């Protein structure tokens, strides 16, 4: 599937603002994939569909999480903003026929991350964070690191996300902490 086809399939599921974000994530992911020698087609597809379920009805996502054994039920104990990646990892297969485990995994983990992420997973996670339309405190430093050090850039993006959640007294998903702990030993 080419980029135009992928974007045309995701567009009806997104707001105009989110679609423009997705276009920027795709371009950022392609740049990162070239820089860090990751399959560009997989990076394009995973980034194109990373927010495929962003605007699904919460009750529909809740049911999908409860019904699919590959999705942990404890996900429902965390903010619903975390649900769309895991749900999309299932629905891109059932609705779009994307059966590539690497792509599905990158979609699944793009919001939370996890320990021992693949480079493809890191690229989608990071591209979603640093795409040019994002305005986040500290993002310029992450963007500079992404020019040459994928792990350090992912670590800083994760650290910023955890710090934000803690500053708001919100729960931090355990796999996000696992990502942080995994990378703090490597950086």
Cα separation, 47 vs 41, in Å, equals 10
Q: Are the beta carbons of 47 and 26 closer than 8 angstroms?
A: yes
Domain spans of the chain? Answer: 3-137
Which pLDDT score, from 0 to 100, does residue 71 have?
94
Looking at residue 185, its pLDDT comes to: 86
- pLDDT score for 31: 98
Say if CB 177 and CB 184 are below 8 A apart: no
Torsional sign, CA 184, 25, 121, 164: positive
Name, in order, each residue with C-beta under 8 angstroms of 8's C-beta and a sequence gap of 6 or more.
none
| Residue partners of 19: CB distance under 8 A and separation at least 6 | 7, 10, 11
Low-confidence residues of the chain: pLDDT under 50? none
The CATH fold assigned to 3-137 is: Hypothetical protein af1432 (1.10.3210)
Report the predicted TM-score, pTM, of the whole model to 2 decimal places: 0.96
Task: Pull the structure tokens for residue 167.
Answer: 């500053």
With tokens 């994307």, the residue in question is 98
Nearest in space to 11 (alpha carbons), one of 60, 54, 40, 41: 54
Give the per-residue pLDDT at 165.
Answer: 94
**Angle at the Cα of 150 (from 27 to 102), degrees rounded to 5?**
65
pLDDT for res 93: 97
The pLDDT assigned to 38 comes to: 98
């Amino acid at each position: 599937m080419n980029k135009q086809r992928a974007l045309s399939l995701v567009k009806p599921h997104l707001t105009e603002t989110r679609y423009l974000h997705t276009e920027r994530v795709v371009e950022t992911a392609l740049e990162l994939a070239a820089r860090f020698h990751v399959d560009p087609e997989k990076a394009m597809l995973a980034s194109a569909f990373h927010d495929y379920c962003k605007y699904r009805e919460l009750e529909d996502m809740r049911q999908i999480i409860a019904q699919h054994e590959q999705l942990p039920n404890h996900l429902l104990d965390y903010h619903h903003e975390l649900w769309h990646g895991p749900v999309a990892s299932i629905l891109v297969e059932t609705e779009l026929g994307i059966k590539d485990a690497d792509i599905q995994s990158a979609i699944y983990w793009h919001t939370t991350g996890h320990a021992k992420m693949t480079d493809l997973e890191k690229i989608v996670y990071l591209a979603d964070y640093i795409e040019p339309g994002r305005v986040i405190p500290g993002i310029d430093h992450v963007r500079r690191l992404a020019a040459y050090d994928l792990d350090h850039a992912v670590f800083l993006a994760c650290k910023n996300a955890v710090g934000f959640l803690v500053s708001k007294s919100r729960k931090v998903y355990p796999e996000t902490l696992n990502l942080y702990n995994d990378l703090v030993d490597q950086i």
